[in-house]
C-alpha cells in the first residue's frame, strides 16, 4: 500500500494515519513530525525550517522534497508507506511522481479528508500531542484517560507552538492557496478518495478502510 493522506490542518490526518499504518503495517511518514524532530535536535534543516513553521507558512519545497526522497527509499518502505503532510504543493507532487517513476512504483490511493474551515481552528487549538510516541489527543473530542498524560506511555502532553488561533488561520489559508490544488491533481490520476472528516474519529476510520478495501 502506497498512500497519501491530504487535508487541511486539523482535519485529522495524523489521527487517521495512526490507524491506517497499524492495519497495513507500513511506516507513517509525516513531514511535519520529521521537521519537528530536526528542530528538537537543532540540525541545520531544523534551524532553517523553524522560522517558516512558526509563521505557519510552508518550508521551501527543495528542503522537504529532499527528506522525503531519502525516507521513501529506506528498507522499511519496501512494502509501502503512508505520506502525511506531503506533498503540499503541486511542485512537491510533480517531484514525488518523478521519484516514484524512477523507483518503478505507483501510488495506490490518495485519501482526501474534507472538513469545513470553521471546525478546523477549534480542533487544532485543542490538540495535544505526546512528544515520545507521537500520539495525538484533543482536550474536547479525544481526551486522554488522565488529564494531560499520554495513555500509551505516561508522558506529559504538550501543545504545538503553531497551534495558536492566529497561526492555524494562516495555515488554513496556506492550505487553500497552495495545497488544495492537489485534489484536482490526484483526481485526474484517478487516485482520490473523498472522506467526510466532520464525522467522529471511528466513523472517519471506517470510511477510509472501506475506500482502501475497494
Question: Residues interacting with ligand ADP, by CB under 6 A?
Answer: 7, 9-15, 123-124, 126-127, 136-138, 141-142, 197, 200-201, 204
Annotated catalytic residue: which of 13, 36, 123, 128? 13
Active site residue 171: yes
β-strands 157-158, 127-130: how paired? antiparallel
Task: Characterize 50-75 residue by residue with b for buried, 16 or more Cβ atoms within 10 angstroms of its Cβ, and e for exposed.
Answer: beebeebebbebebbbebbeebbeee
What is the x/- site pattern for ligand AMP, positions 175-204, by CB under 6 A? ------------------------------
Regarding 59 and contact with ligand AMP (CB under 6 A), the answer is yes
Annotated catalytic residue: which of 55, 171, 187, 210? 171
Task: Characterize 96-122 residue by residue with b for buried, 16 or more Cβ atoms within 10 angstroms of its Cβ, and e for exposed.
Answer: beeeeeeeeeebebbbbbebeeeebbe
Active site residue 88: yes
Query: CB of 29: closest distance to ligand AMP in angstroms?
Result: 10
Question: Cα–Cα distance between 7 and 120 in angstroms, integer?
Answer: 11
Nearer to ligand ADP, 105 or 126 (CB): 126
Active site residue 127: yes
Instruction: Say if CB 12 and CB 115 are below 8 A apart.
Output: yes
Interacting span for ligand AMP (CB under 6 A) from 20-28, 30-38, 103-111, 186-194: 30-38
Catalytic residues: 13, 88, 127, 160, 171
Amino acid at each position: 500500500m502506497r498512500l497519501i493522506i491530504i487535508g487541511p490542518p486539523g482535519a485529522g490526518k495524523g489521527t487517521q494515519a495512526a490507524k491506517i499504518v497499524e492495519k497495513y503495517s507500513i511506516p507513517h511518514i509525516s513531514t511535519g513530525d520529521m521537521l519537528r524532530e530536526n528542530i528538537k535536535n537543532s540540525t541545520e534543516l531544523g534551524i532553517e525550517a523553524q522560522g517558516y513553521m512558526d509563521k505557519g507558512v510552508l518550508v521551501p519545497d527543495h528542503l522537504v522534497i529532499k527528506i522525503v526522497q531519502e525516507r521513501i527509499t529506506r528498507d522499511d518502505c519496501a512494502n509501502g508507506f503512508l505520506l502525511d503532510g506531503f506533498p503540499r504543493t503541486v511542485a512537491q507532487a510533480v517531484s514525488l511522481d518523478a521519484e516514484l517513476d524512477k523507483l518503478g512504483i505507483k501510488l495506490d490511493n490518495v485519501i482526501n479528508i474534507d472538513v469545513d474551515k470553521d471546525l478546523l481552528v477549534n480542533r487544532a487549538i485543542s490538540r495535544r500531542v505526546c512528544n515520545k510516541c507521537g500520539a495525538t489527543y484533543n482536550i474536547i473530542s479525544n481526551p486522554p484517560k488522565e488529564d494531560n498524560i499520554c495513555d500509551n506511555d505516561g508522558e506529559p502532553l504538550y501543545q504545538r507552538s503553531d497551534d495558536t488561533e492566529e497561526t492555524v488561520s494562516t495555515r488554513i489559508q496556506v492550505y487553500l492557496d497552495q495545497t488544495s490544488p492537489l485534489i484536482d491533481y490526484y483526481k485526474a490520476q484517478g487516485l482520490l478518495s473523498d472522506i467526510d472528516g466532520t464525522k467522529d474519529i471511528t466513523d472517519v476510520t471506517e470510511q477510509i478502510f472501506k475506500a482502501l478495501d475497494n
